[in-house]
Amino acid sequence: MCDWGTLPDGRTAKLITLSNDRLRVNVLSFGAAIQSVHLDDIPHSLTPGFDHLAPYQTGKGANGCIVGPVANRIGGAQAMIDGQLTHFDANEAGRTTRHSGSAGTHLQPWRPTMVAKNYAELQLPLPDGQGGFPGNRTLIAAFILTEATLSLRLSATTDRTTLINLANHSYWNLGGAPTYAGHRLQINADHYLPTHDNLPTGEIAPVAGKPFDFRTPRDLTPGTDAVLDHNFCLSNTRRPVTDIATLTGPSGLSMTMATTEPGLQVYDGANFPGAPYAGLALEAQSWPDAPNHPNFPSILLTPDDIYTQETRWSFRQL
């Protein structure tokens, strides 16, 4: 672990390097971000990261970070919690809360609490009312390397009923080219959420016959495919870790993603900071705008419960 820049309040951001015989992964304490992933002797990172702190501080792209306490969008920047209408930071055209607004966990320094050769744990306390979200909450992110697999385990507790929907916001480019052109994507989802003005309409639509059908692997052509910024419905509830998607690069290097989460947000990276389509974002999470759609899996967390999520990325060269 080494210093990696100074924050405006004088605190130091840390760079943590994890490694084993197959993987080398850099994690930042700021935003708990996956900054780079190197496999075997491949010369380039499999995730496009920034090489200095400033771009992470802007929050643009939330590149590699843990996004929360509620990832994705909340329509109207408000939701009912324990029978009370609760308002949040309206940071997207004044009408939605995107990635929790100014209270987003991707904009905050996490504290490393345990670091070993192939394991790192970071913690972030969130005070009651920050960004409008109730509860004194504690978030923990643990990164683990096992052979050619990177695992992320997230947990959260609260002392008041609140909303929790955490997501890792990494972009992936397995080929090392300026864009992910030539990649193939497969997603184990029969349904997706149609959107209007970036928000789910409430319909849970079949992917069959639509540009969102990735049940069979499909080639990706950035900028010419249907715009991708949608939630794919993997299940109706959190479940044991299950393979959900496979991304394959032009050389045959593949990444299989597995998660406990009921949703996968896929974003085509059209607005990747400074480099459109530099990577494809695959974000395991619960469904967006869930508090405003009773038919979506709930993201409420009570003081009696513990939120847990596990996501794994396994790499293989064909």
Contact by Cβ (8 Å): 77, 301: no
**Alpha carbon distances (Å) from 286 to 94, 224, 290, 305, 309:** 23, 28, 8, 17, 10
Verify whether residue 191 is a known catalytic residue: no
Verify whether residue 147 is a known catalytic residue: no
The number of beta carbons lying within 10 Å of the beta carbon of residue 237 is: 10
Catalytic residue among 99, 106, 121, 169: 169
Peptide bond before 69: cis, by omega within 30 degrees of 0?
Answer: yes
Which DSSP string do the residues of 224-270 spell out, in sequence order?
A: TSPP-EEEEE--SS--S-EEEEEEE-TTSEEEEEEES-SEEEEE--T
Burial readout 238-272 (b: 16 or more C-beta within 10 A, e: otherwise): eeeeeebbbbbbeeebbbbbbbbbbbbbbbbbeeb
- Please list the residues that pair with 59 across neighbouring strands: none
Catalytic residue among 121, 261, 283, 310: 283
In this structure, the dihedral spanned by the alpha carbons of residues 64, 70, 73 and 77, taken in order and rounded to 10 degrees, is: -140
DSSP letter (8 states) at residue 70: B
Distance from C-alpha of 65 to C-alpha of 239, rounded to nearest angstrom = 23
Contact by Cβ (8 Å): 89, 70: no
Tokens 């990325």 label which residue? 313
The tokens for 261 are 């989460």
Contact by Cβ (8 Å): 60, 54: no
Active-site residue set: 169, 283
